[in-house]
Structure 1
């Protein structure tokens, strides 16, 4: 399997996409550290599923809006497993509303979670990757970071920032055997869509060229490929998993 013997840290592992990514990396042969904040029951269910399948997983609670907690998360995983080979910066949250109505503390929270936490986790994990001359950093971004979305300006902005971070870091660490890529999901069926009614979901489906909404597994398969040794010549890329929505 493509990730045999590797150690992966997945932030936001309790959510739909994060859970699917964690499972896919386990199936590819990795030991998986499951980062979560509030959703212990959901994270524990992912852990239980992996262990029941003969895998190895570690539950790691961290509030990634806290800078020190983000550093400590990486230290915890390295302390338990001795290394991090694959870092998936997936933790995130939405913020809907007009820019003029968005409180600055809400923007600060989004920035801390979507930009500062990936920055810190990458910064903390990179020294070990550089010593071993191998690493995979995979950032989960969004189509809104590429094309923008009205009523989600703050969210679009921080995701666009993470896209820029991905491209710049890829250039900085490529010579150390580390690839840095982003996966950009489109409309994926997770609890983030709970606020949409049936007609709104139908509009989103109709706007997607393949005429269906995405599944977490669609995203997870791409992440698992980018984590694989076979993807070693792919870096600095923003891989859309959106059914053509952002085309």
Structure 2
């Protein structure tokens, strides 16, 4: 039996990753913070897959421990997908908001990985995939902290891959462009049309497309891919 932990499984990308991994025969730990209804609906869709729901706020210092306490099997695949964005000037952010973004995106991801690595090292196999962002590669004004934490996550992927590759573990990242998820809820139809005009492929990405890339990265078809940040953005920034 293969086990995967997906953080942020209640969101658009996380849900699709869960469905894709379920189709590959994984049993799934589905992490969420607030949207329990989304997780319950997902588990109904995956009724033929063994799943557990795990509630934790990874923006707090107790979040990682809450997840670890809920896991009772070795983890073969770790998908670091939790996150949120802040749109606005850096000078308008409260200090607590900055600290929470660092905890959610970076500190919790690092601590969770650190806790789950020993079993992977012992087994000489394992896959870790971090869901980053195009802004972690290029930076974005009015999303300075989001860009910063995603950039840090990218460097974490590259450094950790070098450290654990001798143990048979692969660590990669996916940097999506604009994906059709609830993160775009604040955009008007006109704003989305303008955005699509700026993307060479002329459309938003779909969560399923990101999930298919993640599934490829943990498969044997990508056995020599390690320490890479793969952009999936319709040639928007390339």
TM, length-normalised to structure 2:
0.97
Match of 1:94 in 2: 85
Match of 1:184 in 2: 175
Corresponding position: 1:61 with 2:61: no
Match of 2:109 in 1: 118
Aligned residues: 238
Distance 1:176 1:71, change over 3 A: farther
Residues 141 and 184, structure 1, Cα contact 8 Å, conserved in 2: yes
Q: Distance in 2 between matches of 1:67 and 1:120?
A: 10
Q: Distance in 1 between matches of 2:189 and 2:108?
A: 34
Alignment of 1:226-241 (within 5 A): 226-241=217-232
Question: Which moved further from structure 2: 67-76 or 216-225?
Answer: 67-76
Q: C-alpha root-mean-square deviation of aligned residues, in Å?
A: 1.0
Alignment of 1:91-170 (within 5 A): 91-170=82-161
Match of 1:223 in 2: 214
Q: Distance in 2 between matches of 1:222 and 1:67?
A: 31
Residues 175 and 232, structure 2, Cα contact 8 Å, conserved in 1: yes
1:31 to 27, 35, 47: 27
Residues 71 and 120, structure 1, Cα contact 8 Å, conserved in 2: no
Q: 4+ runs of 1 displaced by more than 6 Å?
A: none
Match of 2:13 in 1: 17
Match of 2:42 in 1: 46
1:143-199 Cα offsets, whole Å, 9 max, x none, are 011111111111111110101111000001000110000001110011100101112
SS in 1 for 2:187: coil
State the shift of 1:6 in Å. Answer: 1.5
1:192-243 Cα offsets, whole Å, 9 max, x none, are 0010111211121111111110110010000111111222211110011111
1:197 to 188, 194, 208: 188
Q: Distance in 1 between matches of 2:3 and 2:231?
A: 25
TM, length-normalised to structure 1:
0.94
SS in 1 for 2:78: strand
SS in 2 for 1:181: strand
Question: Which moved further from structure 2: 100-109 or 133-142?
Answer: 100-109
Gap regions ≥5 residues in structure 2: none
Residues 143 and 186, structure 1, Cα contact 8 Å, conserved in 2: yes
SS in 1 for 2:4: strand
